[in-house]
């Protein structure tokens, strides 16, 4: 009889790493070459890093493509001292892979993701679906739900959105985001930017700044023109950083949350 765990099967190492086996079939490629192909990957969370990465059994990795790193990127991963360069078709990708010192992860190799740090493997797949930026956390939910709440958004004292038909996006460990139809946004106050970000749960976002508002952080508004199927209701709707806007919901003004995005917004150069 097959049994299933009733609690998170997460282990902790003395180095502070969290890890657990994954049942997903994962492949990582560089260009057209498959460098890792594993049905037994391990998810690893480093201390202070909110998103996971994968580690793979050595037998699932093309170790013939790895070389001892010429300039090891020590200090970039928890306790790691062994780094590898990836040599492929005459190209050398420095510090594309590494091993963790934890005994629990002995015999496993991790890889960088180009979408995340600019080097490593550039295409990743879970089963037959391509994924981006980092592995999806199995303990995280992202739900997009249509609502009839009355949402008003003010930025620097100016009303920029007013709607009773938002889509609320609930994402574990982040504040509720309010996605608003463009018809309910004063889009004449916005100017598009060339900034884009990727999210493994939602897709690729376009951004806007508030026009002629020097005290307001840039890229305060975003939208997903082609979101992933799981959050399709947010398609083409506009969302505002709660961290830098004043949002009122059903007459109650929300406190500005402090999140991993707060520092980046505060550090942006006024326009």
Question: Is 134's pLDDT higher than 70?
Answer: yes
Summarize the confidence of residues 222-227 as an average pLDDT: 97
Q: Which CATH number fits domain 11-131: 3.10.105.10, 3.40.50.620, 3.40.50.300, 2.170.150.40?
A: 2.170.150.40
- Which residues does residue 203 pair with via DSSP β-bridges, in sequence order? 199
pLDDT in tens, 145-181: 999 999 999 999 999 999 999 999 999 989 999 999 9
pLDDT in tens, 17-40: 999 999 999 999 999 999 999 999
What pLDDT does residue 150 have? 98
CA 99 – CA 78 distance, rounded (Å): 10
What pLDDT does residue 261 have? 86
Question: Is 2's pLDDT higher than 90?
Answer: no
Contact 15, 80 (CB under 8 A): no
User: Is this model's pTM higher than 0.75 or not?
Assistant: yes
The values of phi and psi at residue 232, to 5°, are: -55, -30
CA 25 – CA 264 distance, rounded (Å): 35
CA 94 – CA 86 distance, rounded (Å): 6
- Architecture (CATH level 2) of domain 142-267: Beta Complex (2.170)
Question: Is 264's pLDDT higher than 90?
Answer: no
Question: Is 216's pLDDT higher than 70?
Answer: yes
3: confidence class by pLDDT, cuts 50, 70, 90: very low
CA 38 – CA 26 distance, rounded (Å): 5
Summarize the confidence of residues 114-142 as an average pLDDT: 94
Q: How is the chain split into domains, by residue range?
A: 11-131, 142-267
Question: Is 231's pLDDT higher than 50?
Answer: yes
Asked, colleague to colleague, whether 11-131 and 142-267 share their fold, the answer is yes
- First-to-last alpha carbon distance for the chain, in angstroms, is 63
What pLDDT does residue 189 have? 97
What pLDDT does residue 121 have? 98
pLDDT in tens, 61-112: 999 999 999 999 988 999 898 999 999 999 999 999 999 999 999 999 999 9
Tell me what the pLDDT averaged over the chain comes to: 92
């Amino acid at each position: 009889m097959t049994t299933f765990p009733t609690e998170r099967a997460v282990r902790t190492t003395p180095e502070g790493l969290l890890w657990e086996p994954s049942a997903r079939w994962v492949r990582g490629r560089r260009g057209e070459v498959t460098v890792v192909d594993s049905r037994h990957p391990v998810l690893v969370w480093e201390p202070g890093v909110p998103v996971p990465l994968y580690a793979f059994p050595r037998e699932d990795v093309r170790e013939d493509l790895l070389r001892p790193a010429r300039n090891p990127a020590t200090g970039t991963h928890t306790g790691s001292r062994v780094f590898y360069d990836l040599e492929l078709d005459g190209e050398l990708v420095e510090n594309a892979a590494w091993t963790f010192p934890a005994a629990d992860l002995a015999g496993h190799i991790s890889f960088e993701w180009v979408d995340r740090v600019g080097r490593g493997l550039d295409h990743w797949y879970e089963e037959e679906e391509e994924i981006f930026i980092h592995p999806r956390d199995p303990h995280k939910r992202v739900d997009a739900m249509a609502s009839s709440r009355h949402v008003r958004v003010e930025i620097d004292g100016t009303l920029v959105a007013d709607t009773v038909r938002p889509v609320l996006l609930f994402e574990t460990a982040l504040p509720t985001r309010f996605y608003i139809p463009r018809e309910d946004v004063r889009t004449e106050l916005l100017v598009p930017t060339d900034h884009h970000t990727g999210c493994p749960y939602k897709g690729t976002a376009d951004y806007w700044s508030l026009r002629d508002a020097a005290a307001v952080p840039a890229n305060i508004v975003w939208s997903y023109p082609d979101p992933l199927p799981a959050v399709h209701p947010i398609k083409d709707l506009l969302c505002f950083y709660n961290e830098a806007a004043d949002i009122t919901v059903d007459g109650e003004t929300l406190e500005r949350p402090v999140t991993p995005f707060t520092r980046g917004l505060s550090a942006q150069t006024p326009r």
